[in-house]
Structure 1
């Protein structure tokens, strides 16, 4: 294994360990833009009560969210059965996580999705190389606003969205609840492609809805031209929260 990789991984583990001590000195002096959950915790200034994980996959983000925000109710959505079963296997005993085997979208209904060998890139929008497709599955799509109202929830502290190009449909499905949302973390692309919502479109939408870009995380560069950005996870915060 490459020694640079090992060194970087060791320092990263030490850094994460220090953050999780949640010392006041670290909270005040640690630079923004390195760990989005830690940044969100500092921006909110108080413990969140509701977090949504749209595109939970097998639960790695929900697990981290549960650590950083142990008092929050985390609502995890994952539509693909095999992936959802893995999610339950990993996190089914977490009392603060609610699981839905559903996709989020702009309108309720049923849709057929192609299942990829790599479960992290299953997408409602994309059709991949047939060699990578191992089957098809009909999934249920629901509006987030309707699900949360059924749960008697009328606000969202944090929503993380990673749904391979379906992000705007998820945001539309929030309905009026987007006005009661404090922080949005979503994957954005810097080139026009079907599995990524474009940065400029996201910026325009967020500006219209009263959000400001406050962090860019886990940036990836174009596989064939390292001069170009490919995608990143971007943190948007309601402007009124920043002014409080």
Structure 2
């Protein structure tokens, strides 16, 4: 086997094959759960959500809810209540329509979630609101080049927001989902008290190219969630794949969905 690999390297590790090799790399990492982002089915998230719904969750938190597709799936397929946060006004209006349908189970807040209470600029493309972000440095990514519009948004920590809204009477959280286009680490930093106290079983977040510009990798996320094991959602697998965040092959800065699962501590 070693001889065969050395032979392949001898023939193909040349400048003439570089672009071909790169295209093969981009193809094969898709099989490892990277860059499958068309919808909940293509990403494999639907299988994860089916698993969550089968466990009869009581409360899920959706941070970066966008127009509410993720929340809507949970609402349709379980009896869970949801607290959703979305700062973009246009997206929030669609969340309000979902609220009308699930008025007793869905609480929505037009605010960004981060690591401190502040006001921050949100950059966006009017034709792709799902890519709105708080990090101007990530807009050098090629598909974000049209994020040239901006608005000021309020931001607060999850810890503060849940404490402020005592009427929600939160005693347990089953799932926290974070999709904030590169702002995920800040969200986690502002949610540590909530995580320590309420011990959500699942924390799902998007790991992407954005984190290269933020100097944050999957290893950093795992260190901040020391009581959690790290799993990846694969496109067509009904089971989560446990991964080691200390290894470089699991720290590629390409779109993937990561789930941190609470360890069973005796």
Output the TM-score relative to the length of structure 2. 0.65
| Whole-angstrom CA distance in 1 between matches of 2:68 and 2:124 | 18
Distance (Å, rounded) in 2 between the aligned partners of 1:196 and 1:87:
32
User: What count of residue pairs does the alignment treat as equivalent?
Assistant: 198
User: In the alignment, which residue of structure 1 is the partner of 2:158?
Assistant: 144
For 1:55 and 1:196, how far apart are their aligned partners in 2?
A: 21
Mapped partners of 1:192, 1:182: distance in 2: 24
Asked if 2 retains the 8 angstrom alpha-carbon contact of 1:184 and 1:235, the reply is yes
- Correspondent of 1:77 among 77, 82, 85: 85
Structure 1 residue 196 displacement after superposition: 9.2
1:139 aligns to what SS in structure 2? strand
CA distance in 2, matches of 1:41, 1:53: 15
Secondary structure in structure 2 of the residue aligned to 1:58: coil
Q: What residue number does 2:108 align with?
A: 99
Higher relative contact order (CA 8 A, sep 6+): 2
Partner deviation per Cα, 1:21-41 (whole Å, 9 max, x = no partner): xxxxxxxxxxx9971112334
Structure with the bigger percentage of strand: 1
Residue equivalent to 1:9? none
Partner of 2:9: none
Q: How does 1:1-244 map to 2 (within 5 A)?
A: 35-42=47-54, 45=55, 47-70=56-79, 72-95=80-103, 96-117=105-126, 118-127=128-137, 128=139, 132-133=146-147, 135-149=149-163, 150=165, 151-179=168-196, 180=198, 181-189=200-208, 193-194=212-213, 197-206=216-225, 208=226, 210-218=227-235, 230-240=254-264
State which structure, 1 or 2, has the greater radius of gyration over its C-alpha atoms.
2
Distance, in Å, in 1 between the alignment partners of 2:45 and 2:91 is: 30
Structure 2 alignment gaps of length 5 or more: 1-40, 237-251
- Residues of 1 paired with 2:215 and 2:50: CA distance? 25
Aligned to 1:79, the other structure's residue is in SS state coil
Whole-angstrom CA distance in 2 between matches of 1:196 and 1:186: 17
Alpha-carbon distance in 2 for matches of 1:90, 1:232: 27
CA root-mean-square deviation: 2.9
- Secondary structure at 1:193's aligned position in 2? helix
Conserved? CA contact 1:79–1:139, under 8 Å: yes
Note the C-alpha offset of 1:49. 1.6
The 3 A distance-change label for structure 1 pair 83 and 97 is same
SS in 2 for 1:48: coil
> TM-score, normalized by length of structure 1?
0.71
